[in-house]
Chain A
Amino acid sequence: MATNTHETVSACVNDHGSAIGMPQLCNEWMGNQIFWLVITLIVIFFVLSRVALPRIAAVLAERQGTITNDIAAAEDLKAKAAAAEDAYNQALIDARAEAARIVEATKAEIKADLDAAMAKADAQIAEKAKAGEKTIAEIRANAMASVEEIAKATASEIVDALGGKADAKSVNSAVDAQLKG
């Protein structure tokens, strides 16, 4: 046991290098810890307060400034965009009205043309119908005349065939009387 290197070191460590009691409560070590802790805290405090914190504060302030500027610029651009959009919408509305107007005008024009053409066509049709009627009437009159002639000829032929003597005048008058009857 006495050969162990730890034997003379401390009242808080046994021969095996294990702790006697709680190391946290060992009086021997506290001075050492406090001394180095105070040095550490002072060093960290000066590193932070002299170098790190002002630097980060500056960076953050700069970023804040940049962001504020950017936001202002963005607001400007947004206003411009809104104006452009308004103008575009206005143009769109105008164009729509113009288009509607043109459509109306064209429609009216086409209608007028159409009416004129219709009237013309109607007149032509009526004319053609009238001519047709006249032709029909002529044809009918001719047909009636032919019927009379054929009837007279046929009647005189029949009379002849029956052995009678037919004088033309009496046959004609008889046929006329029949046709009229």
Chain B
Amino acid sequence: MEGQLAHIGAGLAAIGSGAAAIGVGNVAGNYLAGALRNPSAAASQTATLFIGIAFAEALGIFSFLVALLLMFAV
């Protein structure tokens, strides 16, 4: 029973990956919108873009990690 609950928890934690996907899409989309308005400034901001994506994705990875822990380590 407890193991099954852990599986449910893992599934719930996987929602976090979708939320991270929204976050990453938001970052990339806004970057693109800004880059199309001012293409000359776009190149200088790619580093910021990747840092932003990395931060957004890290949280999704955390939820993925929680899912994995529930699946394999609890």
Contact = CB atoms under 8 A, between A and B. Distances in A.
Interface of A: 19, 21-22, 25
B27 interface: no
Interface of B: 68-69, 72-73
A11 to B, nearest CB: 13
Main secondary structure of the interface of B (DSSP, over half): helix
Contacts of A21: 72-73
9 contacts: A19-B72, A21-B72, A21-B73, A22-B68, A22-B69, A22-B72, A22-B73, A25-B69, A25-B73
A21 B3 CA distance: 13
Contacts of B72: 19, 21-22
Contacts of B73: 21-22, 25
A25 B66 CA distance: 13
Contacts of A22: 68-69, 72-73
Nearest to B74: A21
